[in-house]
Structure 1
Amino acid sequence: MSKALERRARMREALIEAAERAIAARGLSGLKTRKLAQEIGVANGGVYNLVEDVDELILRVGSRTLARLDASLSLAEISGPATPREMLARIAVAYCDFAADNLELWRALFEHRMQPGKPVPEWAVTEQMDLFRHIYKPLAVLFPQRSATQLGVTARSLFSAVHGMVALGLEQKLIAVPLNALRQEIATLTRAMIDGLTAKRD
């Protein structure tokens, strides 16, 4: 790699890291390309020599967030033996903990909207969908008779329920719930959903 390409790669990484800090501190509304340019020492328009546009910059920050979420869920999986039911409850609580610890970055994953008419890049979709494997694997053990498509629908339904509880529970302006209570409720909900699905199967 030439020195020019190496420098561009370093500047690009510095830009993404600066954007990550800005979002973590102030949310998506705090992301200002002019300030980012000043922080990494490039001209105002220099940001767009490093990323295609703001959408790509936000998605690159989201990629880093998803990687850390993936690591957190993986850690929950290996923290000790558990039945598939308890593993799903453990993963759900780990998701809640990650959201609480990385609130603005986590929110940005769901609040960001692409420019009208611009699709989400395939690489970003793939990263998002890959995280469902944490839910899919224990569900596949619980419901071996289900097809991959059916398991995928169940995994998304379970995620949606847990995500909704986390989103509302952490919302400070509406019905914020103490974190310990929220964690307990999420674990209880997850177990109840699995019990219901298991009973329906039988």
Structure 2
Amino acid sequence: MRNEERRERLRAALLDAAERTIAEHGLPALKARDLAREVGCALGAIYTVFPDLDALILAVNLRTLALFDRAIAAVRVAPEPAGAATPAERDAAVDTLVRLAVAYLHFAATHPARWRALFQHRVTDALPDWYLVEQVRLFRTIEAPLQVLCPDLAEAERALLARSLFSATHGLVSLGLDEKLMVLSEPVLRGQIETVVGALGRGLAAG
């Protein structure tokens, strides 16, 4: 087997093992020595395919973002109106925002350890461009209904509003699922998210 093939197989094995560890036990359980033992390689071999654990964790988190992307793909986003949005189209855009928020809650409740790892991990250097591109692509999904509700917003302002709406939803989900603070059942938390995001959306629809 060629060296490049061996490196690629080792990279895939380490990524799979790290993903399982994070999904089952959380990010704090991820240790380089344990990974090496699990895949049957020397500790130093990890750093021949990943420059450091940060890079490995980012690769796992990229898989988590892809999983989330598939989850929200089920939320049908209405096409942008050809002209001024009708009341029905604005209502549909508000409903899309609510359903996206509920999909985020469901993802976090279904994959809690993987979801938390997205926010627990702090890199020492700037995030790589390929990771930022994936984040921006996901935010575009939120921007689509905002284009219907706020057609006069500049692109930069709409992007900022999308992040603000995400932050509001993330705060509700984080507090609601935090075992140390105020755990709420998923149906109760869903009702709260529907109320808050729905109110925000209707406020934007009203101008």
Partner residue of 2:5? Answer: 6
Runs ≥4 in structure 1, deviation > 3 angstroms? none
Q: Is the 8 A contact 1:84 1:138 kept in 2?
A: yes
**SS of 2:178 mapped into structure 1:** coil
Residue 45 of structure 2 is aligned to residue 36 of structure 1: no
Report matched runs for 1:92-111 at 5 Å.
92-111=101-120
Normalising by structure 1, what TM-score?
A: 0.92
Partner residue of 1:27? Answer: 26
- Residue type matched to 1:20 in 2? E
- Residue type matched to 2:21 in 1? A
Q: Is the 8 A contact 2:149 2:204 kept in 1?
A: no
Q: Is the 8 A contact 2:15 2:56 kept in 1?
A: yes
- Residue type matched to 2:170 in 1? H
Q: Indicate the percent of aligned positions where both proteins have the same amino acid.
A: 45
- Output the aligned Cα RMSD: 1.7
- Residue type matched to 2:67 in 1? R
Partner residue of 1:76? Answer: 75
Q: Is the 8 A contact 1:77 1:91 kept in 2?
A: no
Partner residue of 2:201? Answer: 194
> How far apart are 1:40 and its partner, in Å?
0.9
> How far apart are 1:46 and its partner, in Å?
0.9
CA distance in 2, matches of 1:88, 1:6: 44
**SS of 1:139 mapped into structure 2:** helix
**Structure 2, unaligned stretches of length 5 or more?**
78-88
Residue 169 of structure 2 is aligned to residue 162 of structure 1: yes
Question: C-alpha deviations, 1:73-107, integer Å up to 9, x for none?
Answer: 111226xx981110110010000000111111111
Higher normalized contact order (CA 8 Å, seq sep 6+, divided by chain length): 2
- Residue type matched to 1:154 in 2? L
Partner residue of 2:80? Answer: none
Q: Is the 8 A contact 1:92 1:162 kept in 2?
A: yes
Residue 66 of structure 2 is aligned to residue 67 of structure 1: yes
CA distance in 2, matches of 1:150, 1:97: 28
Question: C-alpha deviations, 1:96-133, integer Å up to 9, x for none?
Answer: 00011111111111111112xx2111111111121101
**Structure 1, unaligned stretches of length 5 or more?**
none
Question: C-alpha deviations, 1:21-67, integer Å up to 9, x for none?
Answer: 11112211100111101111110111111101010011000000000
> How far apart are 1:198 and its partner, in Å?
2.6
Residue 135 of structure 2 is aligned to residue 135 of structure 1: no
CA distance in 2, matches of 1:144, 1:22: 44
CA distance in 1, matches of 2:2, 2:92: 52
CA distance in 2, matches of 1:100, 1:10: 32
Partner residue of 1:54? Answer: 53
**SS of 2:122 mapped into structure 1:** coil
Q: Is the 8 A contact 1:74 1:134 kept in 2?
A: no
Q: Is the 8 A contact 1:162 1:186 kept in 2?
A: yes
CA distance in 2, matches of 1:77, 1:173: 35
